[in-house]
Amino acid sequence: MSYALESKDETERLEKQSEAESYDFKEELSEVGNLEGKIICDAGSGSGIVSRYLAGKFPTSKIYACDASDIRIHQSKTKSSQFKNISFEVQNITQLSFENSMIDFLFSRFVLEHMNEKTQAKAVAEFHRCLKPGGKICLIDVDGAYYNIFPETKILRSGLQKFRKEKNADLLVGRKMPNLLVQAGFQDVHWRVQTLSFAGESLAKERELIKERFDTGAHYFSKILGSPKSFDTFKKEYLDVLTRPGATLFYTKWIASATKHK
């Protein structure tokens, strides 16, 4: 698996994003209950910030933080040296090394958006295999990122049409997660949706996060848009639109949970 925003600076970007109000991982996981003494998998652990949080909150639990990036895992280990109950492992989440029915709770946060539909289904089926009977899963992702902006200028419209044709990412995955869970064999599937609407200070902060995503993934976005020059034009226009009076930007964040049948 490849990661579009791969960079040595990506860990710090992810840390900053996770500390933003709109990406509050503590609220996202507020309904998981007591995980003390459980085996937990952070599938696509990124900077490791959520694994660190759970390791501190549930000190007798064992947490496997898995990510496909060697860079990210190395940086996560450095940040998490005080936690002895986290195991950081370089793993492809579509082919996890865990035995069948080993994990009590698995969550995957802002990971499925970086996959195509076939790979998403493979990953969620793998999550089902690894969970114990009665085990719980929580998937968290956004729906409509980048797309829901207005004014949609000619430059933005053209660029976003190319985004929609990208085969190795899915910026509309949020709405698909409940069905992915059902197709993988999970039961008791439920979900909640939060509208992330940005205005004033929150829009300025989200604009800065978007700029950092663009900068980190410049090679990837240039490939989608056809050239570095085309990307630079799109990036400048996108960020400029967000400074205009009356500009609007919103996404929906989906938090889908389910249980593996006993």
Q: What is the largest CA-CA distance in the chain?
A: 55
9 pLDDT band (50/70/90 cuts)? low
What pTM did the predictor assign?
A: 0.91
Per-residue pLDDT at 16:
75
- Whole-number Å distance between alpha carbons of 98 and 117: 23
Contact between 235 and 196 (Cβ < 8 Å): no
Which position has the higher pLDDT, 258 or 20? 258
Non-local CB neighbours of 183 within 8 Å, separated by 6+ positions: 121, 124
Non-local CB neighbours of 194 within 8 Å, separated by 6+ positions: 252, 253, 255
Q: What is the pLDDT of residues 70-121, one digit of tens each?
A: 888 988 888 888 999 999 999 999 999 999 999 999 999 999 999 999 999 9
Contact between 50 and 42 (Cβ < 8 Å): yes
Contact between 147 and 160 (Cβ < 8 Å): yes
Q: Give percent of the chain above pLDDT 70.
A: 96
Q: Give percent of the chain above pLDDT 90.
A: 82
Q: What is the pLDDT of residues 122-150, one digit of tens each?
A: 999 999 999 999 999 999 999 999 999 99
Instruction: Name the amino acid, one letter, at 218.
Output: A
Q: What is the pLDDT of residues 59-72, one digit of tens each?
A: 999 999 999 988 88
Per-residue pLDDT at 71:
86
Non-local CB neighbours of 205 within 8 Å, separated by 6+ positions: 20, 198
CA angle 15, 16, 20 (to 5 degrees): 115
- Give the orientation angle of helix 70-79 with respect to helix 10-18, to 10 degrees: 60
- Whole-number Å distance between alpha carbons of 192 and 82: 34
- Whole-number Å distance between alpha carbons of 101 and 17: 32
Per-residue pLDDT at 261:
92
With 80 as the cut, is the pLDDT of residue 6 above it? no
- Whole-number Å distance between alpha carbons of 119 and 168: 9
Per-residue pLDDT at 7:
58
Q: What is the pLDDT of residues 145-157, one digit of tens each?
A: 999 999 999 999 9
The answer regarding whether domain 10-260 maps to CATH 3.40.50.720 reads: no
